């Protein structure tokens, strides 16, 4: 190729089991490219990616890695394959050759987890955006994946749909102990994770706990990213000499702090 573009540039990253990581960055920062490396949809030009001791470059491990790392994409319409909800969730299970009886159990379980049991027989095109994304999540976790990569799953949803997805993802992390890698450009969603990675031009610009990352307002603004309003307010008040922690991320904490002054 003549024009080679470095979408990712020397990324070093370790994700622990059970973690909830969010990745933010503007369009073209390499978020989706990074996500696609996690289950062999893309292979690195330089460097290695290991999933549970398996190298993604090892061709014999591709399917095992894809089974372990589930993926949910942005457009709900373009990732549902079958004509009913249950058939779509079963799609991945059919691919890895699971027995029919076991398959039925898994489909029911996955539907239960994403709270879509009553839509088992529905046709996907009649569901709301949030419901479609929940079907996509169910299809991924039905494979009993230990990791779930979500690539801007809420970008095309309304606030209600967004909340549905964030709630389900939190539940998967806490109750099912699924490791979450959540890509978004909505800060209020990233705040829910344990660790935030900010990507810029294929490099990790910031990494840390949400309260550490979101207080770097200058850096975030320079990268043309949003800052949670409440954190910005806390920082501004702090700068004015008011004794309010600049690490506030949640409205409740801000209200509590302000109550002492007003």
Partner 1 sequence: MRILRNISFGQYIPRDSLIHNLDPRIKILSCLAIIVSLFLITKFSGYLILGCFVLISIIISKVHPKFVFRGLRPLLFIIIFTLIIHLFMTEGEVIYQLGFLKITREGLVKGLLVSFRLFILILTTSLLTLATSPISLTDGIERLLSVFKFIGMPAHEIAMMMTIALRFIPTLLEETEKIMKAQISRGADFESGNIFNRAKNLIPILIPLFVNAFRRADELAIAMEAKCYRGGEGRTHYRELKIKKTDILTFVLTIVITITVSVMF
Partner 2 sequence: MFIHLENICFTYSLGMPFETEVLKNINLEIDKGEFIGLIGNTGCGKTTLIQHFNGLLTPTSGKICVEGVDLNKKGVNLRLVRQKIGLVFQYPENQLFEETIYQEVAFGPRKLGLPEGKIEKRVREALKMVDLDYNLYAERSPFSLSGGEMRRVALASILSIRPKMLILDEPTANLDPQGRDNILSEIEKIHYNFGMTVVLVSHNMEKIAETVKRLLVMYRGEIIIDDTPQEIFEKHANDLVKVGLGLPQVTECMHKLKAKGKDVYTGVLTVDDAEREVLKKMKKPIKR
Question: Binders of partner 2 among 127-166, rule CB under 8 A?
Answer: 128-129, 155-161, 163
Taking CB under 8 A as the criterion, which residues in 81-120 touch partner 2?
none
What are the CA-CA distances from residue 79 to residues 13, 18, 66, 225 (Å)? 28, 26, 15, 28
Q: Which sign, positive or negative, has the C-alpha torsion 166, 167, 170, 171? A: negative
Could you give the CA distance from residue 67 to residue 233 in angstroms, rounded to a whole number? 43
Interface region with partner 1, contact rule CB under 8 A, candidates 62-70, 163-171, 195-203, 236-244: 62-70
Task: For the segment 14-73, give every residue that binds partner 2 (CB under 8 A).
Answer: 26-28
Which residues are 150's β-sheet partners? Answer: 72, 182
Which of 80, 85, 141, 166 is close enough to bind partner 1 by CB under 8 A?
80
Asked whether position 197 contacts partner 2 by CB under 8 A, the answer is no
DSSP string, 206-228: EEE-HHHHTT-HHHHHHTT----
Classified as helix, coil or strand, 190 is helix
User: Do residues 69 and 38 make contact, with C-beta atoms less than 8 angstroms apart?
Assistant: yes
Closer residue to partner 1, CB minimum distance, 90 or 234 = 90
Nearer Cβ to partner 2, position 86 or 200? 200
Other C-beta atoms closer than 10 Å to the C-beta of 233 total 16
3 binds partner 2 (CB under 8 A): no
Tell me if 190 contacts partner 2 by CB under 8 A. Answer: no
* Residues within the interface to partner 2 (CB under 8 A): 26-28, 74, 128-129, 155-161, 163, 185, 188, 224-226, 228-230, 232-233, 236-237, 240-243, 251-252, 254-255, 258-259, 261-262
């Amino acid at each position: 190729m003549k024009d080679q573009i470095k979408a990712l540039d020397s990324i070093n990253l370790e994700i622990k089991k059970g973690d909830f990581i969010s990745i933010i960055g503007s369009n073209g920062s390499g978020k989706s490219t990074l996500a696609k490396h996690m289950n062999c949809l893309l292979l690195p030009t330089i460097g290695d990616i290991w999933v549970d001791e398996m190298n993604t470059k090892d061709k014999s491990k591709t399917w095992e890695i894809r089974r372990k790392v589930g993926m949910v994409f942005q457009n709900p319409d373009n990732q549902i394959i079958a004509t009913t909800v249950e058939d779509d969730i079963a799609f991945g299970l059919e691919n890895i050759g699971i027995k029919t009886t076991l398959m039925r159990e898994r489909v029911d379980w996955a539907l239960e987890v994403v709270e879509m049991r009553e839509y088992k027989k529905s046709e996907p095109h009649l569901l709301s955006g949030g419901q479609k994304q929940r079907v996509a999540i169910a299809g991924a976790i039905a494979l009993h994946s230990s990791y779930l990569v979500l690539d801007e799953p809420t970008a095309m949803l309304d606030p209600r749909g967004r909340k549905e997805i964030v709630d389900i993802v939190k539940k998967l992390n806490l109750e099912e102990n699924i490791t979450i890698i959540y890509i978004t450009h909505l800060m209020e969603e990233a705040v829910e994770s344990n660790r935030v990675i900010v990507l810029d031009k294929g490099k990790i610009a910031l990494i840390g706990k949400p309260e550490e990352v979101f207080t770097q307002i200058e850096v975030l603004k320079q990268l043309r990213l949003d800052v949670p309003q409440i954190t910005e307010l806390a920082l501004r008040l702090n700068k004015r000499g008011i004794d309010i922690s600049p690490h506030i991320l949640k409205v409740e904490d801000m209200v509590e702090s302000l109550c002492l002054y007003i």
